[in-house]
Amino acid sequence: MGSLWAGVDVGKTHHHVCVVDDDGTVVLSEKIPNDQQAISGIAGRLGKRRKPIRWAVDLPGGPASLVLAVLFDRGADVRYVSGTVTSRMAEAFHGKRKTDAHDAYVIAQTLRMRTGCSSS
């Protein structure tokens, strides 16, 4: 069946979500506004894939509060990947660094490869 690994680069007005499969292939990369309907929408679309989804965010609170609340309300498995870890892991991946899309990709890949990421 496989799993999906969703990395969220959190922002004040929008987030970037990148989802990879067990092989590390990107299955979704999308910028969404920081509002409940948009966050619920993307979580719902991913839920229709009928694969376990693990989520990771790069902030444990503040601008991440709404995305965390929506995901927790849906019973999602959510983890935290620190900015320091994301920065160090970014060196292992090609692409334009310091873009929201690349950061979300690195967060998703980090979650996929590191089972020791802490629960939020």
Give pLDDT tens digits for 6-49. Answer: 999 999 999 999 999 999 999 999 999 999 999 999 999 998 88
pLDDT tens per residue, range 53-77: 999 999 888 999 999 999 999 999 9
**Confidence (pLDDT) at 1:** 67
Coil/strand/helix, residue 10: coil
* Burial (CB count <10 Å: 0-12, 13-18, 19+), residue 44: exposed
User: If 0-12 CB within 10 Å is exposed, 13-18 middle and 19+ buried, where does residue 66 land?
Assistant: middle
Give the pLDDT confidence score for residue 20 in this predicted structure.
Answer: 97
Write phi, then psi, for 72 (nearest 5 degrees): -65, -40
pLDDT bracket for residue 85 (50, 70, 90)? confident
